[in-house]
Amino acid sequence: MIRYAQVSLCLIAVLAACDDPFSPTVANVSGSYHATTLLVTDSAGVTDYLAIGSSITLQLDAAGTVSGHLLIVGGNEGGGDLEADMVGTWALAGDTVSFDQTADTFVRDWGFKAGERRLTMDHTGGGVTVNLVLTKQS
């Protein structure tokens, strides 16, 4: 009897942990975001781009437009800073947010997972892993 109760409690805990009450909609994903994590891992190690002065801000309008600014210190091919205007559009499909922008940056190239008050992106390719978390401000 005790073993059955232990198994039942474990199963309930697992099911409860999998039950994410957040369901992304355009209304609850819209808002102002800024990067709170921007880590790049490569053969040289991990670089915290926010710690060296990089920043990303995005304003997602409920009508599907996006604005904001991206600054990646040392992010240009020649080693200079990468700056971009984030103006464009955004769309939500399931729990994935995608961007269509004139600026040629990783933001428009990779999808973001919409969570409660955050957008996250983890991408690995070419020996580099990028971990970006955008936290909702309003």
Delineate the domains of the chain, giving CATH numbers in brackets.
Answer: 23-136 (2.40.128)
Q: Which residue has the tokens 């790049």?
A: 40
For residue 20, what pLDDT is reported? 55
pLDDT at 5: 44
pLDDT digits (tens, 9 = 90+) for 12-29: 444 444 555 889 999 999
pTM for the structure as a whole:
0.82
| 8 A C-beta contact, residue 100 and residue 88 | yes
What pLDDT is recorded for position 138? Answer: 73
* Alpha-carbon gap, residue 45 to 49, rounded angstroms: 12
5, 16, 31 from 119: Cα distances, Å: 38, 23, 11
37 bridge partner residues: 133
Q: What is the pLDDT of residue 32?
A: 97
**What is the average pLDDT score of the chain?**
88
pLDDT in tens, 109-135: 999 999 999 999 999 999 999 999 999
Q: Percentage of the chain with pLDDT > 70? A: 86
Beta bridge partners of 122: 131
pLDDT at 31 over 80: yes
CA atoms within 13 A on the CB side of 138: 7
